[in-house]
Amino acid sequence: MITIKTEEEIQVMREGGKMLAHILEDIAKDIAPGVTTKQLDTKAEKLIKEAGAKPAFKGYEGFPGIVCTAVNEEMVHTVPSDKPLEEGDILSLDIGLIYKGMYLDMARTYPVGEISLEASHLIKTTKKSLRIGIKKARPGNTVGDIGNTIQRFVEGQGYGVVRILCGHGIGKELHEDPKIANFGKRGDGEELKQGMVICIEPMVTAGKYDLKKADDGHGYITKDGSLSAHFEDTVAITQDGAEVLTKI
């Protein structure tokens, strides 16, 4: 069931989203060769607690961490580990929190030191696909309009769009209706209405879009071992279009 948020709820999510964006920015400052994703996870827990919020992911379907930390061919939901990051890696951080009973969720992909031109282009493409997807998040459009726009842009760059995972509604629960796929047809799916809050999150692969479950039991990796990138924002549908809540 799709829920329409009140202005009071959206204001809480606006505050929580700004908080989350600051926290992720602070965590990202520590990304460097030799740093472990477990260290980043520990910092995330400390910052969320200091902000007066709660981590959204810890314990969700048994997930043991605070942040999903996907490296290179890892796509999403990867458990933080003690393996040091290496020069040339790319790292996706997917983080969420609960603030005054409302959930916020966002993700970014970062370079670790100097990265290849291929990796840099993948990150830039995924980031831009989120931006153009958000532009379609306005009353009267559909979730299919968002997915179609993302798919056409990403595939036009020669990349793959993940099929088995998608964005989602968000609010009093981490995952609510509707599902927001990153592919599809214009006009398909639920109509977007003022007061809806959704997470748009392009998941893009440098090779084929097929994924398989990782050994940690939570994460997904590309079947062909190709690089992957992930960007996500929590977005409110307003009468004037999309308002990104997870921003500074």
Which tens digit of pLDDT belongs to each residue from 133-143?
A: 999 999 999 99
The dihedral built from the CA positions of residue 185, 189, 195 and 200, taken in this order, carries a sign that is: negative
Question: Which sequence spans correspond to the domains of the chain?
Answer: 7-244
Q: What is the pLDDT of residue 12?
A: 98
Residues in the chain with pLDDT values less than 50? none
The H or E element spanning position 113 is none
Q: What is the pLDDT of residue 136?
A: 98
Contacts of 144 by beta carbon, 8 Å cutoff, 6+ apart: 181, 184, 185, 186, 187, 188, 189
Q: What is the pLDDT of residue 183?
A: 98
Q: What is the pLDDT of residue 68?
A: 98
Q: What is the pLDDT of residue 39?
A: 98
Distance between CA atoms of 107 and 65, rounded to whole angstroms?
Answer: 15
**CB 100, CB 12: distance < 8 Å:** yes
- Is the overall model pTM greater than 0.95, yes or no? yes
**Going by CATH, does the domain composed of 7-244 fall within 3.90.230.10?**
yes
